Homo-oligomer: A and B are copies of this chain.
Amino acid sequence: MNIDMIRAAAQRLEGHARKTPLLSSPFLDEIAGRRLFVKPECLQHTGSFKFRGGWSALSAMDEATRQKGVLAFSSGNHAQGVAFAAQQHGVPAVIIMPADAPQLKIDNTRALGAEVVLYDRAKESREEIGARLEAERGLTLVKPYDEPQVIAGQGTCGLEIAQQAADLGISEAEVVVCCGGGGLTSGIALALEADAPGLKVRPAEPEGFDDVKRSLASGQIETNPAMSGNICDAILTPAAGDLTFPIMHRLCGPGIAVSEDECLHAMALAFLRLKLVVEPGGAAAMAAALFHGDELEGDTVIATISGGNVDPEMFTRALQSYAR
């Protein structure tokens, strides 16, 4: 896993993934107590950065392998990113989702051209179903984060941050990244190490699901006690990956844990001041930048917004609580 893989992914993504802008607002600078720039990956295809990793993985396969199709386990952003990348490549995608997933997510994934295979969480193993489909149909599994070409794809977001910061004359800043399994965080960290060494990555996680923060402190991979029970569903993962953690350990500053209310507040501020739709997990880094300034250093912070796939009910809750 190295910078050359990220640069190669950037070439493959050229003209396919969106280069998202860096946005700011004087109102947010005032709350943050320093200059705050936001990298809105909610504006990426399928509404999250996951399209970058999906496209990178698909485009890196040899033609014969790719033609047989790809497989992913997900009911969320990774599923949509892989499904759309496969559709754009003209190859099959099979997404394995729990039968009790929201109908809207099932419908959306199908509408992006994927075959959705539903399983019963209580009685079936998604891994067994996946292994059978891999064997029978020659599908290739695209893992959500612990996969070199996926990390390389997410790292292209970091190349853009490095370039955009340079264009603004920014050579030193903290870059706060919404962190689940660490694919985006480690990819951005590698890109910045090469292209903007004065920009340091800080992972942001939900309180109670701050395995990466604890892992960075202890020096080994720690786990979360649960996989649910927090509104930041997009970044709830059991633990960082075997590929992503060593990169984060080498390159990242201490993690920052944010509360659910801080995420809802950040969502409301993104609505008011940036005109962006952000999902709870996608608001974690912005929440850290806005409300944990005492854990940050320097006069400039850049916060990623990792996604915007939020239900109307949750979005309305954020507005009713904090858009005043």
Contact = CB atoms under 8 A, between A and B. Distances in A.
Interface in A147-173: none
Nearest to A168: B15
Given A275-B47, A319-B312, A21 B23 contact: no
A308 interface: yes
Contact of A312 (B111, B275, B277, B323): B323
Contacts of A278: 275
Interface in A106-137: 111-112
Given A312-B271, A312-B320, A111 B27 contact: yes
26 contacts: A18-B21, A18-B23, A19-B21, A20-B21, A21-B21, A23-B43, A26-B84, A26-B111, A26-B112, A40-B275, A43-B274, A43-B275, A43-B276, A47-B275, A268-B312, A271-B277, A271-B315, A275-B276, A275-B277, A275-B278, A275-B308, A276-B277, A312-B319, A315-B319, A316-B319, A316-B320
A288 interface: no
In order of increasing CB-CB distance, the 9 nearest A-B pairs are A275-B308, A275-B277, A312-B319, A312-B323, A42-B275, A316-B316, A47-B275, A271-B277, A43-B275
Nearest to A113: B26
Interface string A299-324: 00000000010001001100110010
Interface in A265-291: 268, 271, 274-278
A3 B65 CA distance: 52
Interface of A: 18-21, 23, 26-27, 40, 42-43, 47, 84, 111-112, 268, 271, 274-278, 308, 312, 315-316, 319-320, 323
Copies of this chain: 2
A277 B319 CA distance: 12
Contacts of A323: 312
A112 B43 CA distance: 26
Contacts of A277: 271, 275-277
Nearest to A23: B43
A278 B277 CA distance: 10
A89 to B, nearest CB: 14
A111 B27 CA distance: 8
Contacts of A21: 18-21, 43
Contacts of A112: 26
A308 to B, nearest CB: 3
A20 B18 CA distance: 12
A26 B43 CA distance: 14
Contacts of A319: 312, 315-316
